[in-house]
Structure 1
Amino acid sequence: MPIRPEHRYFYPIDWRELSAMVWFRRAGSACEACGRPHGRMVYHLGDGRWWDAEISAWRDGRGKSLAELPTLDDLTGRLRTTRVVLATAHMDHDTANNANANLAAFCQRCHVNHDRPEHQRRRWRTLFRRKALGDLFGGYPP
């Protein structure tokens, strides 16, 4: 995921090299949560299930092989493709903590799922702050 310009100073200067080490050396060019391969186009159903061409099997959102295959109705009209791009995630959401155990290589889907509670917390905090400023200075800002 791209880093916003106003947040760049939270990351170390060698962030690109550190990220690449996590993606390619440690994770072996695959998502550490679901196993999707970096840089490849994968077929998926939009609910986490995806086609692993290497083993010719469907996998779920955690990378486990599916015992029950998707039905023809699931495949008709819902089958999409996505290019997998790995990103390095901070497990504790602290960008200053760059310990190896705190970093994980996630695909876009797994990264968004991992960050969802933190994004909701920040959104609530921002809206709460805006409302408080509006109460303080005579009206809720638009």
Structure 2
Amino acid sequence: MPIRPEYRKYYDARWRRLRLMLLEAAGNVCQNCGSPHRLLNVAHLSHDPADRTSLVVLCPRCHSRHDTPQRVAVTRRTRARKRGQLWLSQELEIAPLPVRMWPAKLRQLRLFG
């Protein structure tokens, strides 16, 4: 899947070096299913390209399975917005989205302690 234009700034030379280090450390094996694969991906477990602490090496199949709920949530919200859906509150609108996509005002709230 191509990198979205707004995320390209996160995938610079430092990212490429980190990616190679992670692939070598994983021994070219998927860290989820354990199968060797020649086309491994480094995935963001948090779905946040700025977060380089929650990275894992996955085969394309495991990466797709990991990303599916995120893709479905974002697609539903995009379609609903295009159809003119309104939400009772901003919190309900962004509920299925990852925190990084919340407006700055809401990201600063302490929701979990």
- Report the TM-score when normalising by structure 2: 0.67
After superposition, residues 1-142 of structure 1 pair within 5 angstroms as 1-9=1-9, 11-13=10-12, 14-25=14-25, 27-39=26-38, 85-99=39-53, 102-132=54-84
Conserved 8 A contact 2:7-2:49: no
More helix by share: 2
Shift of 1:20: 1.2
> Residue 104 of structure 1 aligns to which amino acid in structure 2?
V
Percent identity over the alignment is 43
Aligned-partner Cα distance in 2 for 1:106–1:23: 9
Question: What CA RMSD, in Å, does the superposition of the two structures yield over aligned residues?
Answer: 1.7
Aligned-partner Cα distance in 2 for 1:37–1:120: 28
Shift of 1:28: 1.4
More strand by share: 1
> Residue 76 of structure 2 aligns to which amino acid in structure 1?
W
- Bigger Rg, structure 1 or 2: 1
- Report the TM-score when normalising by structure 1: 0.54
Q: Kindly tell me the number of residue pairs found equivalent between the two proteins.
A: 84
Q: Unaligned 5+ residue runs, structure 1?
A: 40-84, 134-142
Shift of 1:29: 1.0
Aligned-partner Cα distance in 1 for 2:57–2:6: 23
- More relative contact order, 1 or 2 (CA 8 Å, 6+ apart): 1
Q: Unaligned 5+ residue runs, structure 2?
A: 86-113
Aligned-partner Cα distance in 2 for 1:113–1:86: 14
Equivalent residue for 1:65? none
Aligned-partner Cα distance in 2 for 1:22–1:2: 20
